[in-house]
Chains A and B, each alone.
Chain A
Amino acid sequence: MNEESKSQRMMDDVQVAAVTVSASIIVFFVVYWVIQIQSVIDLLELAYG
């Protein structure tokens, strides 16, 4: 394996890892904040109808 293709594979590695972590962060962000906002809406409805 020459140095160039090795470097290419290393780059692919960090990009695949970046996509995996980024996707996890975005999914967590959406789920977490949707739940939090919904719970605040429920609380306000209980308080003020």
Chain B
Amino acid sequence: MLLSTSSDFNSRSKTITVGVLLTLLLIFSFSSLRHESWLRLYDFFLWLETTPFGVLGKTWGAVFAIVEAVHLLAMALLGGAVLISDARLLGWCFTDVPAVKIQNEAHKVFKVGLVVVLFTGVFMACGVAGKVYWLPVFWYKMLALATGIFFVFFIRRPMLQRNFRELNPWVVKLVAVSSMLVWITVAATGRWIGFAGS
């Protein structure tokens, strides 16, 4: 009986994890927890501005501009990898190349882009931490980014590593569309921070 329950959990572990995370996210979003957590983070954001990254970003505008340029280039790299792999899943391009090959190569590029985006993003956030803290769009970007990373490494990549013939084509297309939407949101909210903060 216990073995059967354990086996059921293992065979549904991803679905159960997703269900639990979505429930926790909804509870967090629609309760006072969200506001309380936001208030508690204020001191942390003020401290970020006093770190070497924060001081460097605030003091030398040229350094901030160069890091921002690298951040945007890395976003282009990441976005290109996402668009190519998702467009291939939707059958929009490179249909003469096996989808698995495109996914594997694009994922390598995606990982490089993501690492650079995260490093440069943290640097930039330190420089303007006291400002972005007050921008709702910054928090939506963080939510979209966390969702995108979780989606890629916990759902999309494990699913696409299986034999494509075993996958429902509609599920593959749905994953491709939602992948594009979540990374478009990350990019668009990032640009919005630039407008909102000026």
Chain A positions within 8 Å of B, measured between CB atoms, are 1, 6, 8-11, 13-26, 29, 32-33
Interface of A is mostly: helix
Cβ-neighbour of A19 out of B22, B147, B151, B171 (below 8 A)? B171
Residues of chain B lying within 8 A (CB to CB) of residue A9: 11
What residue of chain B has the Cβ atom nearest to residue A5's Cβ?
B11
What residue of chain A has the Cβ atom nearest to residue B137's Cβ?
A36
Query: What's the Cα separation between A33 and B140 when bound, in Å?
Result: 11
What residue of chain A has the Cβ atom nearest to residue B143's Cβ?
A28
Given contacts A14-B159, A15-B168, contact A21 B151 (CB under 8 A): yes
Say yes or no for B17: interface residue by CB 8 A criterion. yes
Query: What's the Cα separation between A11 and B13 when bound, in Å?
Result: 11
Interface of B is mostly: helix
Query: What's the Cα separation between A20 and B19 when bound, in Å?
Result: 8
The A-B contact count (CB < 8 A) is 71
Given contacts A6-B11, A15-B159, A17-B18, contact A22 B167 (CB under 8 A): no
Chain B positions within 8 Å of A, measured between CB atoms, are 7, 11-15, 17-19, 22, 140, 147, 150-151, 154-156, 158-159, 162, 166-168, 171, 174-175, 177-178, 181-182, 185
**Could you show 26 A-B contacts with beta carbons less than 8 Å apart?**
A9-B11, A11-B167, A13-B12, A14-B155, A14-B158, A15-B159, A16-B12, A16-B14, A16-B15, A17-B14, A17-B18, A17-B154, A18-B155, A18-B171, A18-B175, A19-B174, A20-B18, A21-B150, A21-B155, A22-B178, A24-B22, A25-B151, A25-B181, A26-B177, A32-B140, A32-B185
